[in-house]
């Protein structure tokens, strides 16, 4: 037998990505690998002619388990790389080219070891499945490489065709040399060989697709952001594949424990039965006596009483198992499965459901984290925006406010408020960044705008002082970060960078009088306002562009004044309007916003705002990718 290296004419395909350290990472990794292999095949890159459906399925399983190990077990963000490498050719294989698909997952916590020792652990420790043993069975080879600051877990999968392994009656054949498993589909080696006593339907299903079932279940569960929906999907995944019925209890996150170790109270979130007419009766029975599984059981199954009287004739006896749902050492609920006519569940089924329960736990934990963040965001949003827009004598106002992220604080904000002495002030701003960073700046800017205006400061003075406030706050934040860095021994905070406080703002003052409204305004790095006259003419130079707030300490600001006559409309927008994209074009290219406003002659403030909003949405084929805010002030 002779071997010779294969030298491709051009580099073999490679794909890389970074994944966040959260429960959604394994699903993202699976999609990334499928997409990469499909794109390589479509482009006919070197080595892809040997990619088979079996290889794709094996690769998806391997990357799923490697990323799960890194994210869930090590708790860090990960870098993922997959590539095809040239391998050796053999005369036995006909001298044709061959290769390997390499998958590498790097986490940045090299001190955290890779765990796959099969030792049972308490609920205070992270849960470990059998994922790396699956990787070992599927891959030609796998291992761990330690580098400075990084730990790489890698696997090599053969891409050349190998004849399937012949079936054998001996169960021990499944635990033989890994080389013999190269031709076995990934879906056939999740569990040990079926033992005696395993029902025929279970044996056939386990041999067909248990591993694919887990991978697809992970994808399905990872995309859910509601814990009740996770519970509902769990029931549909288990019944009737693995059980006649199942139930999911979810626990409150309230502090305190009961005598038998449950956190807070618990509620029966979902009951599912293969026969729908049994669901309600089973629910009523189970609600009376929730399963009492101690936290010390971990994710291992515990036998619970059989609810025979709720299942009707033919189901007087059977076996029910309860699994604690635990994520990050914190109990989240309990999963119970049952099947009639069994003295005990086969080990293959209990092991598979145990692996699934871990994925259910991760999905519930992610859904709860999302719910907490959404609640915090809603509270922040309510606190950062005015409860109502002030009514101004002689002025009609209309507002459109559409944050891009419905669940988080927007970077845009607005205000319209009385400032005393017959004055009303308005503001439309856009903060650099999104989420909490934007909330910090808005939380500073809006209250200070109101305070300075009501203290009688003129428009330019308000901007001067707000600019200095943002600069002072950024300096204080940087000093605090530096002190924390020193206190931490120079580690842990180096990547946070400068705490910038950049803000674009259109701020103005309105003074109504008989026959019109006197308007004074200034633009600090913000899209300039437009004035629509009743005849349809649009004035585009009612303010001068000036620098952003929070950038230069020596910046000074000026204002412009003009009169709004009856019927005149002032349009103020954020860059979510002017920079709305359609391909390479923006909404305000060639004075597009002025053209749209000109077509609104004769409309009320409300209709002008709605028309501009609608045309902005219709300008692009995709939904807007930025926050959108606009304010129309119309003199009556």
How far is residue 151 CA from its own chain's centroid? 25
Coil/strand/helix, residue 119: coil
Choices 3.30.450.40, 1.10.10.10, 1.20.210.10, 3.40.50.2300: CATH for 220-377: 3.30.450.40
- Yes or no: domain 3-188 corresponds to CATH 3.30.565.10: yes
pLDDT tens figures, 216-250: 788 788 778 889 999 999 998 898 888 999 999 99
Average pLDDT over residues 358-378: 83
pLDDT higher than 70, residue 115: no
- Yes or no: domain 385-635 corresponds to CATH 1.10.510.10: no
Spell out the SS3 assignment of 303-351. Answer: EECCCHHHCCCCCCCEEEEEEEEEECCEEEEEEEEEEECCCCCCHHHHH
**For residue 198, what are its two tokens?**
């395993």
Report which listed range, 214-218, 311-315, 386-390, 525-529, is most confident. Answer: 525-529
CA 161, CA 144: separation in Å to the nearest integer?
Answer: 26
Q: In the chain, what are the domain boundaries?
A: 3-188, 220-377, 385-635
pLDDT tens figures, 447-500: 899 999 999 999 999 999 999 988 888 777 656 655 655 665 554 444 444 455
> E strands, 565-622, where?
569-573, 581-582, 585-586
Report which listed range, 29-33, 355-359, 468-472, 591-595, is most confident. Answer: 591-595
CA 161, CA 177: separation in Å to the nearest integer?
Answer: 18
CB 158 within 8 A of CB 100: yes
Q: Please tell me whether the overall predicted TM-score, pTM, comes out greater than 0.85 for this model.
A: no
Average pLDDT over residues 371-399: 78
């Amino acid at each position: 037998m002779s071997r010779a290296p294969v030298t491709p004419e051009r580099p073999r395909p490679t794909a890389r990505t970074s994944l966040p350290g959260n429960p959604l990472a394994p699903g993202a990794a699976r999609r990334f690998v499928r997409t990469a292999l499909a794109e390589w095949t479509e482009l006919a890159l070197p080595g892809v002619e040997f990619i088979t459906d079996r290889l794709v399925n094996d690769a998806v399983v391997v990357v799923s388990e490697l990323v799960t190990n890194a994210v869930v077990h090590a708790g860090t963000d990960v870098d993922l790389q997959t590539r095809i490498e040239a391998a050796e050719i053999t005369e036995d294989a006909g001298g044709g080219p061959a290769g390997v698909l390499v998958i590498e997952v790097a986490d940045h916590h090299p001190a955290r070891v890779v765990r796959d020792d099969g030792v049972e652990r308490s609920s205070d420790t992270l849960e470990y499945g059998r994922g790396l043993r699956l990787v070992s069975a599927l891959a030609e080879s796998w291992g761990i490489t330690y580098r400075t600051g990084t730990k790489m877990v890698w696997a090599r999968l053969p891409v050349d065709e190998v004849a399937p392994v012949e079936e054998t009656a001996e169960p021990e054949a499944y635990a033989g040399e890994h080389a013999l498993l190269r031709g076995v589909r990934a879906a056939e080696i999740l569990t040990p060989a079926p033992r005696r006593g395993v029902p025929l339907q279970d044996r056939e299903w386990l041999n067909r697709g248990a591993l694919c079932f887990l991978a697809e279940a992970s994808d399905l569960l990872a995309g859910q952001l509601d814990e009740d929906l996770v519970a509902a999907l769990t029931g549909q995944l288990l019944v009737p594949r693995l059980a006649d019925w199942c139930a999911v209890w979810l626990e409150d996150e309230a502090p305190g424990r009961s005598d038998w170790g449950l956190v807070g109270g618990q509620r029966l979130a979902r009951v599912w039965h293969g026969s729908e007419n049994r669901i309600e009766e089973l629910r009523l029975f189970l609600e009376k006596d929730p399963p009492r599984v101690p936290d010390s059981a971990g994710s291992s199954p515990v036998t619970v009483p059989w609810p025979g009287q709720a299942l009707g004739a033919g189901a007087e006896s059977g076996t029910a198992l309860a699994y604690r749902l635990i994520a990050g050492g914190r109990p989240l609920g309990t999963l119970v499965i049952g099947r009639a006519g069994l003295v005990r569940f086969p080990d293959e089924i209990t092991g598979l459901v145990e692996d699934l329960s871990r994925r259910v736990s991760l999905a519930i934990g992610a859904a709860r984290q999302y719910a907490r963040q959404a609640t915090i965001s809603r509270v922040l949003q309510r606190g950062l925006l005015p409860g109502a827009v002030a009514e101004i004598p002689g002025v009609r106002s209309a507002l459109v406010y559409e944050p891009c992220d419905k669940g988080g604080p927007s970077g845009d904000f607005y205000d319209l408020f009385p400032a005393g002495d017959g004055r009303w002030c308005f503001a439309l701003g856009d903060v650099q960044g999104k989420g909490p960073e934007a909330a910090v700046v808005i939380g500073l800017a809006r209250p200070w705008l109101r305070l300075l205006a009501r203290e009688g400061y003129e428009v330019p003075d308000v901007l001067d002082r707000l600019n200095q406030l943002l600069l002072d706050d950024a300096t204080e934040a940087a000093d605090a970060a530096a002190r924390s860095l020193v206190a931490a021994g120079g580690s842990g905070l180096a990547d946070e960078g400068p705490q910038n406080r950049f803000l674009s703002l259109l701020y103005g003052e309105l003074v109504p009088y008989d026959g019109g409204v006197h308007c004074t305004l200034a633009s600090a790095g913000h899209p300039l306002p437009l004035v629509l006259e009743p005849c349809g003419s649009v004035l585009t130079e009612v303010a001068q562009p000036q620098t952003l707030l929070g950038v230069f300490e020596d910046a000074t600001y000026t204002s412009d004044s003009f009169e709004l006559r009856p019927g005149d409309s002032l349009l103020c927008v954020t860059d979510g309007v002017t920079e709305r994209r359609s391909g390479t074009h923006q909404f305000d290219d060639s004075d597009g916003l002025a053209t749209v406003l000109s077509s609104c002659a004769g409309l009320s403030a409300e209709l002008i705002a709605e028309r501009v909003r609608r045309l902005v949405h219709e300008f692009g084929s995709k939904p807007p990718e930025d926050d959108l805010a606009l304010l129309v002030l119309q003199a009556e």
